[in-house]
Amino acid sequence: MKIAIVDDEAKAREELQQALRSCELAAVAQAELRLFSSGEEFLADFQPDAIDLIFLDIRMGNLDGIETAQAIRRQAERLPIVFLTSSADYALAGYQVFPAGYLLKPISRELPQLLDILRRCLPGIVARELAVQVNGREIKIPYGSIAYVDVKGSHRTGGRRGSVIHLLAGETLPVDTSYTDVVTMLSTADFAECYNHLLVNLAAVAALQEDGFALKNGEQLPISRRLYRETAHSYMDYLLRK
């Protein structure tokens, strides 16, 4: 995820950056944050498909936030824009560019509102975390860090009582959540069962081969003959959507 912060006050940029970095939403905390000190600087770099969310100060120098937002809207009608302002008096002027929300400075006093805005602006992204149980406590794993899930790992056999999350970075994470429950939770995401009790993250696949998947981390996963056609179709559908 890529998030832009456009504000002519260095302190305000740093404060919002810190709030996002410490955010309880993992996808946001790990996002690429791009900081700009003026509307002109941002627009010179702006590419609609390269930004997921913009935080934009209303009061800036030569090109203020409203004018910057108008220029953004000419290229991206639906890109979420959140206005930053030191006074609610400036909020009304921004409605003409259909903002996703407003945050009053200082941001440190608006953290609940920030979380609410993030959840509303990025529903499909911030929800991409797998919640599993480990030793009686819940942990959340971003979908993007998962390579595959199975019921056997190098350190434990999960079987029906648990499963093992294999991360792209190479680590294995035995969890108490059953494989069946993990499959259910990931049923609406881009994961496919390519072998008995083996669920692959299609985003982690580098290539489809005659008998399996080559993953981006160098690992090889088998595809059963029974599931090959269905799995290949799921992968091609994923590529077309991406």
**131-241: which CATH topology?**
OB fold (Dihydrolipoamide Acetyltransferase, E2P) (2.40.50)
- pLDDT, residue 14, reads 95
Could you tell me the residue ranges of all domains in the chain? 2-125, 131-241
- pLDDT, residue 114, reads 92
CATH 3.40.50.2300 fits 2-125, yes or no: yes
If you search the block for the tokens 């794993």, which residue do you land on? 141
How many other β-carbons are positioned within 10 Å of the β-carbon of residue 180? Answer: 12
- pLDDT, residue 156, reads 41
Residues 5 and 14: their CA atoms lie apart, in Å, by: 9
The token duo for 129 is 């975390």
By DSSP bridging, strand 137-142 and strand 172-175 are unpaired
Residues 6+ apart with CB under 8 A from 134: 173, 174, 175, 176
Closest CA relative to residue 139, chosen from 186, 175, 169, 172? 175
Residues 55 and 16: their CA atoms lie apart, in Å, by: 9
The token duo for 63 is 């090109």
Mean pLDDT in consecutive groups of 10 residues from the start of the chain, 242 residues: 94 94 81 95 93 93 91 92 80 69 88 87 72 90 91 50 89 91 87 94 94 94 95 89 64
pTM over 0.75: no
